[in-house]
Amino acid sequence: MGESLQTVLRMRGVERTYHDGNQDVRVLDDVDVEVNSGERLAITGESGSGKSTLLHLAAGMDLPDAGVVELLGQEVNRLAEPERTRFRARNIGLVFQDYNLVESLTAAENIELVGWLTGTRTSAAAIERLAGELGIAELLGRRPDQLSGGQQQRVAIARALIHQPSLVLADEPTGSLDQASAEQVMQVLAESVRARDCALVLVTHSETAAARCDRRVSLVAGKLEAA
């Protein structure tokens, strides 16, 4: 018999409400989702539907009003903030639309940043191997303002992957790129995640990006539906 898959992310009965003036807006309503190791899940939906909120809850960057968020069996929402931050840094890779690179650091230093934050040492050889895989080996000495948008996003992907996370959360990672760069970046992201057998949850408006994933759901009126 084949080896059973590990459930990396499990969200059960998750609810999140925001206060807008005198009105309560339910953004997530009894959301259930599971993502296994090696699985790539795309979450689509209209702007303002709560996709980014769901991603922030999965990362422990925000807390649900109700329900449970588990990462590798750990109830993230029960951890105190310092513990959540450390747990996230060790186990999750984050990729954002606007890259979130530190302008004063080189590409290599940006990739190594997570290691600095977690107190783990990343070898130059490991950075060079990953950079080579992502097609940015010759760019490691450059700063972000010397890179194109696609190159910056590849650096951000390298930063997300360098510590071998169990889960990568990507929020519109191709949203700021032209079509050609977007397709290249999404291919690199999808293939790199699959090669490491880590899970990917991708929030996107892009049909092309969503098609790179194994499974797709849509967030509608606060609930996840099969797309």
Identity of residue 221: A
Percent of the chain with pLDDT over 90: 79
80-113: pLDDT as tens digits: 998 998 899 889 999 999 999 999 999 999 999 9
CATH topology of domain 7-226: Rossmann fold (3.40.50)
**3 state DSSP class of 58:** helix
Full-model pTM: 0.93
What residues contact 172, with CB distance under 8 A and at least 6 apart? Answer: 96, 97, 203, 204, 205
The DSSP 8-state label assigned to residue 36 in this structure reads: E
Q: What is the pLDDT of residue 4?
A: 61
> Position of tokens 């760019």?
139
Q: Sketch the domain layout of the chain as residue ranges.
A: 7-226
The residue ranges of the chain whose pLDDT is under 50 are: 1-2
19-37: pLDDT as tens digits: 887 888 899 999 999 999 9
**Overall size of the chain counted in residues:** 227
Distance, CA of 23 to CA of 166 (rounded, Å): 38
